Chain A
Amino acid sequence: MSRRSKEGKILLLQGNEALAEGALAAGCRFFAGYPITPASEIAEHMALKLPALGGSFIQMEDEIASMGAVIGASLAGVKAMTATSGPGFSLMQENIGYACMVETPCVIVNVMRGGPSTGLPTYVSQGDVMQARWGTHGDHPVIVLAVSSVRDCFEIAVFAFNLSEKYRVPVVILSDEVVAHTRETFVIPPQDQIEVFDRVKPAVPPEWYLPYEDTGTGVPPMAAFGDGYRHHVTGLTHDERGFPTQRPDEIDALMRRFFRKITQGFHEIQRVETFMMEDAEIAVIAYGSVARSSHRAVIEAREHGVKAGLLQLVTLFPFPRRHVEKALQQCKAVLVPEMNIGQISREVKRVHLNSSRVETLNRVDGRLITPREISDCLIKMYY
Chain B
Amino acid sequence: MPEGMTGLVHKYLRHDKKFPHIWCPGCGNGIVLGSLIRAIDRLGLDKDKVALVSGIGCSGRMTTYADFSTLHTPHGRALTYATGLKLSREELTVIVIMGDGDATAIGGNHYIHAARRNVDMTAIIVNNQVYGMTGGQYSPTTPYGSMTTTSPYGMVEHAFDISALAVAADASFVARGTVYHAALLDQLIESAIRKKGFSSVEVLSNCHTQFGRRNKMSSPVKMLEWFKENAVRMHATAKMKPEELEGKFIIGVLADSERPSYNEEYEKVRELARGRSTAPKPPARCEG
Binding site for B on A (CB under 8 A): 29-30, 32, 37, 44, 48-49, 51-52, 54, 56, 58, 60-62, 64-78, 80, 94-95, 98, 121-122, 224-236, 241, 243-244
Q: Can you list 27 A-B contacts with CB-CB less than 8 angstroms, sorted by A residue number? A: A32-B84, A48-B282, A51-B272, A58-B83, A60-B113, A61-B109, A62-B109, A64-B110, A65-B79, A65-B109, A66-B80, A68-B79, A72-B80, A72-B83, A72-B85, A73-B88, A76-B92, A77-B88, A94-B74, A95-B80, A121-B288, A122-B287, A225-B92, A228-B48, A233-B70, A234-B64, A234-B72
Interface hit among B33-41, B253-261, B273-281: B273-281
CA A121 to CA B276, docked complex, whole Å = 35
The one of A66, A74, A122, A236 that contacts B72, using a Cβ cutoff of 8 Å: A236
Binding site for A on B (CB under 8 A): 14, 17-18, 47-49, 51, 53, 63-64, 67-74, 77, 79-89, 91-92, 109-110, 113, 266, 269-270, 272-274, 276, 279-280, 282, 285, 287-288
Q: Which residues of A sit under 8 angstroms from B109, Cβ to Cβ?
A: 61-62, 65
CA A94 to CA B14, docked complex, whole Å = 29
Q: Which 7 residue pairs spanning A and B have beta carbons closest together?
A: A72-B84, A68-B80, A69-B84, A51-B273, A234-B72, A73-B84, A72-B81
Which of B73, B80, B88, B279 lies at the interface centre, i.e. has the most chain A CB atoms within 10 A of its CB?
A: B88
Q: Tell me if A's interface is mostly helix, strand, loop or mixed.
A: mixed
Contact in complex: A60, B269 (CB < 8 Å): no
Q: Which residues of B sit under 8 angstroms from A37, Cβ to Cβ?
A: 288
Nearest-neighbor residue (CB-CB) of B68 within chain A: A230
Give B223 Cβ to nearest chain A Cβ, in Å.
27
Q: Which residues of B sit under 8 angstroms from A67, Cβ to Cβ?
A: 80
Give B67 Cβ to nearest chain A Cβ, in Å.
6
Nearest-neighbor residue (CB-CB) of B276 within chain A: A52
Q: Which residues of A sit under 8 angstroms from B85, Cβ to Cβ?
A: 72-73, 75-76, 225
Q: Which residues of B sit under 8 angstroms from A60, Cβ to Cβ?
A: 80, 83, 113
The one of B69, B82, B266 that contacts A231, using a Cβ cutoff of 8 Å: B69
Q: Which residues of A sit under 8 angstroms from B53, Cβ to Cβ?
A: 72
Contact in complex: B81, A225 (CB < 8 Å): no
Give B41 Cβ to nearest chain A Cβ, in Å.
16
Contact in complex: B84, A71 (CB < 8 Å): yes
Nearest-neighbor residue (CB-CB) of B91 within chain A: A226
Contact in complex: A226, B51 (CB < 8 Å): yes
Contact in complex: B288, A58 (CB < 8 Å): no
Which of B67, B82, B83, B110 lies at the interface centre, i.e. has the most chain A CB atoms within 10 A of its CB?
A: B83
Contact status of A78 and B88, CB under 8 A, knowing A37-B288, A61-B109, A236-B72: yes
The one of A30, A49, A75 that contacts B81, using a Cβ cutoff of 8 Å: A75
Q: Which residues of A sit under 8 angstroms from B270, Cβ to Cβ?
A: 51-52, 54
The tally of CB-CB contacts under 8 A between chains A and B is: 156
The one of B17, B74, B84, B86 that contacts A243, using a Cβ cutoff of 8 Å: B17
The one of B51, B84, B92 that contacts A68, using a Cβ cutoff of 8 Å: B84
Contact in complex: A224, B279 (CB < 8 Å): no
Contact in complex: A65, B87 (CB < 8 Å): no
Q: Which residues of A sit under 8 angstroms from B269, Cβ to Cβ?
A: 51
Q: Which residues of B sit under 8 angstroms from A58, Cβ to Cβ?
A: 83, 87
CA A32 to CA B119, docked complex, whole Å = 14
Contact in complex: A95, B77 (CB < 8 Å): yes
Contact status of A56 and B71, CB under 8 A, knowing A51-B272, A226-B49, A226-B51: no
CA A226 to CA B87, docked complex, whole Å = 13
Which of A56, A64, A244 lies at the interface centre, i.e. has the most chain B CB atoms within 10 A of its CB?
A: A56
Q: Which residues of A sit under 8 angstroms from B266, Cβ to Cβ?
A: 51, 56
Contact status of A233 and B72, CB under 8 A, knowing A48-B280, A52-B273, A62-B109: yes
Contact in complex: B273, A243 (CB < 8 Å): no
Contact status of A76 and B89, CB under 8 A, knowing A30-B84, A32-B84, A69-B84: yes
Give A251 Cβ to nearest chain B Cβ, in Å.
17
Q: Which residues of A sit under 8 angstroms from B72, Cβ to Cβ?
A: 232-236
CA A54 to CA B266, docked complex, whole Å = 10
CA A52 to CA B86, docked complex, whole Å = 18
CA A37 to CA B77, docked complex, whole Å = 25
Nearest-neighbor residue (CB-CB) of A54 within chain B: B270
Contact status of A225 and B69, CB under 8 A, knowing A48-B279, A69-B84: yes
CA A192 to CA B63, docked complex, whole Å = 42
CA A8 to CA B113, docked complex, whole Å = 42
Nearest-neighbor residue (CB-CB) of A66 within chain B: B80
Contact in complex: B74, A235 (CB < 8 Å): yes
Nearest-neighbor residue (CB-CB) of A97 within chain B: B74
Q: Which residues of B sit under 8 angstroms from A80, Cβ to Cβ?
A: 84, 88
CA A95 to CA B107, docked complex, whole Å = 13
Q: Which residues of B sit under 8 angstroms from A69, Cβ to Cβ?
A: 80-81, 83-84, 87
Give B286 Cβ to nearest chain A Cβ, in Å.
11
